[in-house]
Structure 1
Amino acid sequence: MSAASRRLPAALLCLAALATVAASCDGGGPGGASGGPGGTPSQSASSIFDKPSVTVAVKKGQPGFNTRSGEEYEYAGFETDLLNALADDVGFKKYTHDIPSLRREDILLDQGADLVIATYTITDARDEKIDFTAPYMKTYQGILVQKGDSEIKKLKDVDGKRVCSASGSTSDPGSVEGEQAQKSIRETLGQNVKPGFRKDYKTCVKELADGNFDAVWTDRLVLEGFAHQKPYEDHVKVVEDIKIDKQQYYGIGIREKHGADCRRLNRSLKKFLDTRWRMTFQQHFPDLDEGDFEQRYKPSDPEFENYRATSCGAK
């Protein structure tokens, strides 16, 4: 063997060692700590979709979105169908359980759930604690009153009335920090409104029907769900001429540092909006299936893309 031949294995060993060091510095490739494009750190330490089942927090008792019924007491509604479509497309098994509005951030932070799909409005305050996907629904806020109410016709008529909403919702001043932000929510309906907060909207609607409140305030689409489904439709109605100019966009909540999982959900959400949103909405909100309902409730392509650009921790 020549001297040159004897030096060749040693050179190959050196090259192998250098490759190992480079791989270690790079995080070991796509699955490592720096698996993002261009060498940028990846947000996802591990995928929630690799778990045996993904825990999803939902809100029951919201007609149109999520209710439980039937012999097996199963969930049914727009958000249930959305979850099923995402699970099929992304490829994960799911386990669902019910939570109140007040617990949505906490259950993600405490790792009691992997996802929250529960009429969850995307806000800056919430986005500081958890991440959101792009939206799958939009709606203005509105007012629900008793069926026979003839006093509340315009927003100014709500001032001085007893108004119920859910704790932890965007209608609750306690859902935001800062005196000015809290004051802005309190004065949305008028300075003299007498607010009351309950654990969920179902309780608010029941107390409205019983006369404990004069109105319920939240997202109009949530209120329409109650107003058009039994047993509530005989007792309450949405005030047609009140549209509170604060549009809400619903997204899926997910813990931070799961950017790759969040982006996978975004891709599936876009597919759902393009192919199944209209049919699903018509099935669960049949009384709203007229006119420009898609313009009113479905995020447009530009809206979706604007939110997608700042979603999943990109903000």
Structure 2
Amino acid sequence: MRARSGAWRRTLMRLIAAVAAIVCVVPAAACGSANTDTHIIKIGIKFDQPGVGYKKSGTYEGFDVDVARYIAHKLGYRDDEIVWKEAPSKQREAMLQNGDVDMILASYSITDERKKAVSFAGPYLVAGQDLLVRSDNTNITGPQDLNGKRLCSVTGSTSANTVKKKFSTEVQLMEQPSYAECATALFSGIVDAVTTDDIILAGLATNSRGKLKLVGAPFTQERYGVGIKKGNTELAKQINAAIKDMIADGSWQRAIDDNTSGTGFEPNAQYNPPDPTEGEDE
């Protein structure tokens, strides 16, 4: 009888241990894990675009960041529940497809080609390609004035080629790894202008301490969207509702003003503030 009782006791202890192990696997917080907060949202942004998406001393700032933070709050997340992740241009689709991020706000233009791989909400801004020049420059007023001039853009970007094909066939193109390096080349006199989206250029101008200026004559339309996983129409609706609230309560305009102060940047009033309806009927 005692032998049976001992065997029963050992079996019972093994069962208790197994159940305890299962319990500790599922709700990790109940078992003393340091990761007690699983209510997080992962957002991809640029880390190297002043005024748009910029990592500075462990903090994150820029217009994309302000919009992303507003959306996250509307979705029920506090600041300390946002995980910011760098989203390089070439990796954005893969990051969404793999679940590395829940959404991306990284000067991410909505295009038909990209919509084959991911979905978008928004747009939250309609930007336009423009030019950045030195503050004392008076002879470059648009892309048609760049024949014989040196123009910088980032490696892999189509912006400079757009200028060469459509406006100034004799422009001399120069590529740099980042727009910050293009701005340095402009400041140093190595190039005469930098081209990309106007809000990115406005951010570079803000950082130049008055040495660089935005021409302010955009010649394309770039619909900035919130990248999300393909087919998530419910999330698209929630994000669009948040963007509409941000526009309605004045936070959208304040974010524009705060991040482009002193540059003279104004979003094209023909397209802004935008009407965010993308991704709701896929």
Question: Do they superpose with TM above 0.5?
Answer: yes
Q: What is aligned with 1:83? A: 68
Equivalent position amino acid for 2:145 in 1: D
Structure 1 126/169 Cα, relative in aligned 2: closer, same or farther at 3 Å?
A: farther
8 Å Cα contact 1:139/1:249 also seen in 2: yes
Q: Which whole-Å CA distance do the structure 2 matches of 1:68 and 1:284 have between them? A: 14
Q: What is aligned with 1:14? A: none
Equivalent in 282, 287, 302 of residue 262 of structure 2: 287
User: What SS class does the counterpart of residue 224 from structure 1 fall into?
Assistant: helix
Structure 1 200/259 Cα, relative in aligned 2: closer, same or farther at 3 Å?
A: farther
Q: Which whole-Å CA distance do the structure 2 matches of 1:150 and 1:279 have between them? A: 30
Structure 1 261/199 Cα, relative in aligned 2: closer, same or farther at 3 Å?
A: farther
Q: Which whole-Å CA distance do the structure 2 matches of 1:187 and 1:252 have between them? A: 29
Structure 1 225/212 Cα, relative in aligned 2: closer, same or farther at 3 Å?
A: same
Q: What is aligned with 2:183? A: 205
Equivalent in 112, 135, 138 of residue 147 of structure 1: 135
Q: Which whole-Å CA distance do the structure 2 matches of 1:129 and 1:156 have between them? A: 35
Equivalent in 78, 86, 92 of residue 104 of structure 1: 92
Structure 1 111/167 Cα, relative in aligned 2: closer, same or farther at 3 Å?
A: farther
8 Å Cα contact 1:101/1:200 also seen in 2: no
Q: Superposition pairs for residues 259-298 of structure 1, below 5 Å?
A: 259-275=233-249, 276-287=251-262, 293=266, 296=269
Equivalent position amino acid for 1:165 in 2: S
TM-score (norm 2): 0.73
Q: What is aligned with 2:211? A: 235
State the Cα distance separating 1:153 from its structure 2 match: 3.1
Q: Which whole-Å CA distance do the structure 2 matches of 1:233 and 1:217 have between them? A: 19
Q: Which whole-Å CA distance do the structure 1 matches of 2:43 and 2:237 have between them? A: 17
Q: Superposition pairs for residues 119-198 of structure 1, below 5 Å?
A: 119-167=107-155, 169=157, 171=159, 186-198=164-176
2:228 is the counterpart of 1:251: no
Structure 1 206/313 Cα, relative in aligned 2: closer, same or farther at 3 Å?
A: farther
State the Cα distance separating 1:260 from its structure 2 match: 1.5
Q: Which whole-Å CA distance do the structure 2 matches of 1:74 and 1:161 have between them? A: 37
State the Cα distance separating 1:215 from its structure 2 match: 1.3
Q: Which whole-Å CA distance do the structure 1 matches of 2:231 and 2:42 have between them? A: 17
Equivalent position amino acid for 1:304 in 2: D
Equivalent position amino acid for 1:237 in 2: K
State the Cα distance separating 1:148 from its structure 2 match: 3.4
Structure 1 170/299 Cα, relative in aligned 2: closer, same or farther at 3 Å?
A: farther
Q: Give structure 1 stretches of 5+ with no counterpart.
A: 1-50, 174-183
Structure 1 255/286 Cα, relative in aligned 2: closer, same or farther at 3 Å?
A: same
> What is the Cα-based RMSD across aligned positions, in Å?
2.8
State the Cα distance separating 1:256 from its structure 2 match: 0.3
Q: Which whole-Å CA distance do the structure 2 matches of 1:112 and 1:284 have between them? A: 27
Structure 1 260/85 Cα, relative in aligned 2: closer, same or farther at 3 Å?
A: same
Q: What is aligned with 2:272? A: 299
Structure 1 299/234 Cα, relative in aligned 2: closer, same or farther at 3 Å?
A: closer
State the Cα distance separating 1:226 from its structure 2 match: 1.7
8 Å Cα contact 1:102/1:168 also seen in 2: no
User: What SS class does the counterpart of residue 251 from structure 1 fall into?
Assistant: strand
State the Cα distance separating 1:59 from its structure 2 match: 1.0
8 Å Cα contact 2:143/2:163 also seen in 1: no
Q: Give structure 2 stretches of 5+ with no counterpart.
A: 1-37
Q: Which whole-Å CA distance do the structure 1 matches of 2:146 and 2:71 have between them? A: 40
Q: What is aligned with 1:37? A: none
The number of residue pairs the alignment matches comes to 241
Structure 1 107/202 Cα, relative in aligned 2: closer, same or farther at 3 Å?
A: farther
Q: Which whole-Å CA distance do the structure 2 matches of 1:206 and 1:124 have between them? A: 34
The percent identity for this pair of structures is 26
State the Cα distance separating 1:73 from its structure 2 match: 2.4
8 Å Cα contact 1:114/1:254 also seen in 2: yes
Structure 1 172/162 Cα, relative in aligned 2: closer, same or farther at 3 Å?
A: closer
